[in-house]
Amino acid sequence: MDLFQEYYLGNTLQSWLCAFITLIITFTTLKIIQRILIRKLSKLAAATDNQIDDLIVSMLKKTKFFIILIASVYLASLTITIKPSIAELWQKFVILMLIFQSGLWTSSGISFTLGKIIQKRSQEDASSKTTISFLGFVSRFVLWIIILLLILDNLGVNITGLVAGLGIGGIAVALAVQNILGDLLASLSIVLDKPFVIGDFIVVDSLSGTIEHIGIKTTRIRSLSGEQLIFSNNDLLKSRIHNYKRMSERRVILNFGVIYQTSVVKLVAIKKIVRDIIEKQENARFDRVHFKEYGDSSLNFEVIYFVMSPDYSTYMDIQESINLEIFRQFGNEGVEFAYPTQTVYVCNQSME
């Protein structure tokens, strides 16, 4: 018993044994709790659609072995007497390890959240995967810069000047790569706001085509004539974009003219003929038909109808069918289409 009362490094052997037993019990208990929580929450996560339990499982798996060991050693150290200078260094080391572990948990949370977003967005728009992955990289990069600054601050380093230097350096870098950053932010805006996705047919100014790829800096469009058009994301969002894929129906204006010799009866009949033709068309909705104006060489009609499909081929098929039927029925009714003509009247006057 006298052996247990002997002092070693400021504590009795009995105190060291108690600290060691505390270390073993604490470490074993924490590991058991970690494994039980991971197993139970994994089963719960598999049985529910709730994402919170999945996130907790992911963070628990990122709890490192040495963090649990350090936590156990810290609790065991509370049972013994340590020199104030050593205790202060030990406490700082523990805080640094906790900051580091907090960074691992936060990084795991960012990766988990972005992974779920990528999984959801990939089903709708595969191009968003690249931008969201890059966004995750930037988020984790900023996170670890903050963790590093916290660690340096706890080590007694004056980080005020360092933060100011980073701020000035960041401004300089931002000014140097402002075009790239503009395209990056535009890419992020496209992914989040979705003005268009891969497969959409768009018209930008006088250029048109189908979206083929949305990247971090550029968007690629396959034109109708076959060549690939490459737009800067920033310039693309500054343009007026017509997205025909999002169109639920297409409004069509049909104009035609008949000759001035057409009778009033036939002018009235034309409206019914055109209306009946359009109403019989599948995927077409009639709006109106009017005798619009007196032209230079024709009596002009305006017809408005809607094609109930955004597909351009469907629109052209319906347009062709209507034109052919109008031509056929006007021929049967003796209605003549007008074309530019001039009538010259010659007046003969006798010379005295």
pLDDT digits (tens, 9 = 90+) for 152-199: 777 776 666 656 666 655 565 555 455 666 677 777 777 777 788 788
- Eight-class DSSP state of 3: G
Domains of the chain with CATH codes: 3-155 (no CATH), 188-246 (2.30.30.60), 250-333 (3.30.70.100)
Instruction: State pLDDT tens for residues 66-78.
Output: 788 888 888 887 7
345 Rama class: left (phi>0) / alpha (psi -120 to 50) / beta: beta
Average pLDDT over residues 215-226: 84
Terminal-residue alpha carbon distance, the chain: 160
Could you tell me the pLDDT band of residue 344, with boundaries at 50, 70 and 90? confident
Q: Is the pLDDT of residue 127 over 60?
A: no
Bridge partners of 243, per DSSP, are: 202
pLDDT value at residue 165:
61
Share of the chain above pLDDT 90, in %: 21
Residue by residue, DSSP assigns 304-327 as EEEES---HHHHHHHHHHHHHHHH
What's this model's pTM, rounded to 2 decimal places?
0.49
CA distance 213 to 348: 74
pLDDT of amino acid 120: 66
Q: What is the pLDDT of residue 266?
A: 93
Contact 281, 316 (CB under 8 A): no
Q: What whole-number distance in Å separates Cα of residue 128 and Cα of residue 238?
A: 20
SS3 content of the chain, % helix, strand, coil (to 5): 60, 15, 25
